[in-house]
Structure 1
């Protein structure tokens, strides 16, 4: 099979709906930049976290984390609540 020919097994899986988890969030994530995908995965495993915590876990700079959280919030993929330890900060988690 050449690189230009479609793979029949992949087409069958796509048509039957296999390998599709949460379709809405998967579709929304597919269009996001890599930094937003990384932040989403960090929150998936470590939530709730502050922006500082996300930056530490993901090793992204704080500005990139803010940008990624903005993109995720625009698509309603994350929610935030005021941090009880420090009301100047928010804790982020994946929206349910």
Structure 2
């Protein structure tokens, strides 16, 4: 991820990204509780991050009705270099 693409993200998307970076994978409700963002704003932030390839959404094994969001591996690996 280039710093320019991150800088161009909405503030809500940056917040969600940083929360996932700090805490690791989370469900939608966990993100909502952690960020305190309104539901529609959080959905928009997740959509923007997914469209930019910055996060993945998978099925939560504890509750298959929920999705779990995490940073994409390529971004996590790039930070380690």
Q: Under TM normalisation by the shorter chain, which class is it?
A: 0.7 to 0.9
Show the 5 A alignment for 1:45-84.
45-84=22-61
Q: Supply the distance in 1 between the matched residues of 2:68 and 2:30 (Cα, whole angstroms).
A: 9
Question: Which structure shows the bigger proportion of residues in helix conformation?
Answer: 2
Query: Number of residues paired by the alignment?
Result: 73
* Per-residue deviation, residues 50-93 of structure 1 (Å, max 9, x unmatched): 11111111111121111000000000000111001111111001
Contact 1:79 1:94 in 2 (8 A): yes
Stretches of 4+ moved more than 3 A in 1?
none
Structure with greater Cα Rg: 1
Alignment partner of 2:37: what SS?
Answer: coil
Question: Which structure shows the bigger proportion of residues in strand conformation?
Answer: 2
Contact 1:25 1:77 in 2 (8 A): no
TM norm structure 1: 0.71
Alignment partner of 2:65: what SS?
Answer: coil
Structure 2: state its 5+ residue gaps.
74-81
Change (3 A) 1:31 1:86: same
Contact 1:51 1:62 in 2 (8 A): no
